[in-house]
Amino acid sequence: MVAHKAWVPARGTYSVGQTSQPFNPRAGKLYLEHKQPHKIDYTKSKDTSECEYTKTENDCPLDEFLKVASLANLAVVREAATGDWETHGDPTEIAIQVFATRFNWNRAQLISGDKPAWTQLAEFPFDSDVKKMSTVFKSSTGDMFVFTKGAVERVLSSCSAIESVDGLELEAIGPEIKGDILANMEAFAAQGLRVLALASKPLSAINCKNLDLDRKEVEHDLVFRGLIGLYDPPRAESAPSVRRCHEAGISVHMLTGDHPSTARAIATEVGILPSHTDMLSKATFDSMVMTAQQFDKLSDTEIDTLPELPLVVARCAPNTKVRMINALHRRNKFAAMTGDGVNDSPSLKNADVGIAMGLAGSDVAKDASDIILTDDNFASILNAIEEGRRIFDNIQKFILHVLSQNFAQAIVLLLGLVFKDADNLSVFPLSPVEIIWLVMITSGLPDMGLGFEQATMDIMQRPPHKVSLETHRISLHSSMRRFQV
């Protein structure tokens, strides 16, 4: 298993071979770790264009956009003494920080030195409920600002104004402007981009006099600064791995925090959702993708009445993942769950097999898991499933061989007790030493060989089955071999 990049720290591996419903919460398994900003939109215009990393002089809206991108960010991007660039932090934040650094807006440089340009006063970390994060900074001139980054719907709901194209005035966000922003977001998301919104506002010195700031007050009446879309390219092995799962009778579900359009585009690209939907009704296709809000509104009874559980759940919360696993258990399915964050630990613990990421995973997620992927590769899960099925098959072969042979030997010994010799003593066909030698010769080496038996060619073309070593097939074969002996 270690050779296949799947480390099992606690329990046996055979159970992962029975997996029928692996979940992928889109945390680095199907996707490359390194992202890049693909498109940006920092005006209220409906036009969106490819990001070419160019900047004109006195571009006030872009300056404000880059300021938020750099400072509402915990990633560190710096140049080492060797001339190479080093990065630390979340891949999404690293990508945004690299983008801002290309315009000389680098957080590490702005907050360092004897007289830093910016000093951080407070931080409101990202939360899966509010789906945004904010930082409070003080500039070298003494002015104070709050910078916010997060899901478009959540950030936009906290904004009351947007900057004009020339950056000279603020305009209230009305229904028309809000519609344009959401239309741009949908255009980005439909291309498989992960879309985030950026916003900021100045804070008065009175509000920052004591650092016991109220988050709701700080993240209120913000100025919308723009959208940024990041392309997280699927790994080359993602689509083939999903296809192999389907061939093995395994249904793959994606539980993600992304926008529904982004989730739908990515899931279609890797094969989780069917690419040809002409034969599907609109109701069927729509039921394949749900938001966490839609899913959580359903009661357990309503979920159980669904013909099929959704293949993609967007804007997912930790509790949504747990409910999805419980819904599968009620359908007598065997579920494996992948994850890397602290918020994934409840679902990892609740799944039949929890699978954590070894490179990007948190310690909490690893402790809650049964298997750790040392390369954060979704294809390694298939290797673990194949190895689990091979071990399970070999255990069945071992039991079949031992039961049939030992039963035959026991019958011979018991029949010998029926007969008596001239001294009226029971006849033992085999002495204890002979029995030991017989077991060693006929059981030891063959049984060891069965344990190292290679997987059959069709092992990943079989549907999953219930975890049971004693099946009707093995019982029938064992009985036939007993009578043959």
What are 402-437's pLDDT values in tens digits? 877 777 777 877 877 777 777 777 777 777 787 788
Q: Where in the chain is the domain with CATH 3.40.50.1000?
A: 6-31+234-383
474: DSSP letter: H
- Fold topology of 36-70+118-231: Calcium-transporting ATPase, cytoplasmic domain N (3.40.1110)
Give the span between the Cα atoms of 33 and 75, in whole angstroms: 14
Pairing of strands 371-373, 353-357: parallel
Rounded-to-integer distance, Cα 259 and Cα 55, Å: 29
Stated as kind and residue range, the H or E segment containing 7 is: strand 6-7
Task: Give CA–CA dist 66/64, Å, rounded.
Answer: 5
Which of 414, 418, 417, 399 is CA-nearest to residue 481?
A: 399
Which of 280-309 are b and which e, b meaning 16 or more Cβ less than 10 Å from the residue's Cβ?
eeeeeeebbbbbbebbbeeeeeebeeeeeb
- Among 52-56, 268-272, 430-434, which stretch is predicted with the lowest mean pLDDT? 52-56
Helix (H) or strand (E) holding 133: strand 132-139
Q: What's the average model confidence in pLDDT over 242-255? A: 90
Q: Can you tell me whether residue 122 is helix, strand or coil? A: strand
Q: How confident is the model at residue 147 (pLDDT cuts 50, 70, 90)?
A: very high
Residue 255 and residue 312: Cα distance in Å, rounded? Answer: 6
Which is higher by pLDDT, 412 or 160? 160
pLDDT of 222: 94
Q: Check whether 205 has a pLDDT greater than 80.
A: no
For residue 146, the surrounding DSSP H or E stretch is strand 144-150
282 or 112, higher pLDDT: 112
Mean pLDDT (the chain, rounded): 80
Angle (nearest 5°) at CA 361 between 355 and 382: 35
pLDDT score at 28: 38
Q: What band does 83 get if pLDDT is binned at 50, 70 and 90? A: confident
Structural contact between residues 218 and 182, judged by C-beta atoms closer than 8 angstroms: no
Q: Which residues contact residue 45 at a Cβ distance below 8 angstroms, ignoring those fewer than 6 apart?
A: 165, 180
| Rounded-to-integer distance, Cα 300 and Cα 351, Å | 17
CA distances from residue 376 to 36, 238, 243, 290, 350 in whole angstroms, order as listed? 19, 12, 19, 26, 21
Pick from 67-76, 229-238, 364-373: least confident: 229-238
The CATH superfamily assigned to 6-31+234-383 is HAD superfamily/HAD-like (3.40.50.1000)
Nearest to 196 by CA among 158, 127, 149: 149
- Going across the sheet that includes 21-24, the strands are 6-7, 371-373, 353-357, 335-339, 21-24, 253-255, 312-314, 289-291
Q: pLDDT grade, residue 26 (50/70/90)?
A: very low
Q: In which residue ranges of the chain is CATH 3.40.1110.10 found?
A: 36-70+118-231
Which tens digits make up the pLDDT trace of 305-327? 988 899 999 988 889 999 999 99
Predicted pLDDT at 295? 94
Task: List Cα–Cα distances, 432 to 414, 419, 438, 443, 465, in angstroms.
Answer: 14, 18, 10, 16, 41
Strand partners, 229: 39, 195
Percentage of residues of the chain with pLDDT beyond 90: 29
pLDDT of residue 346: 92
- To the nearest 10 degrees (0 to 180), the angle between helices 60-71 and 91-101 is 140
Task: Answer for the pair 466, 18: CB distance below 8 angstroms, yes or no.
Answer: yes
413 vs 24, more confident: 413
Per-residue pLDDT reduced to its tens digit, 366-402: 898 888 888 888 888 888 888 888 888 888 888 887 8
pTM > 0.85: yes or no: no
Average pLDDT, stretch 179-200? 90
Reply yes or no on whether the pLDDT at 463 is more than 90: no
pLDDT value for 190 = 85
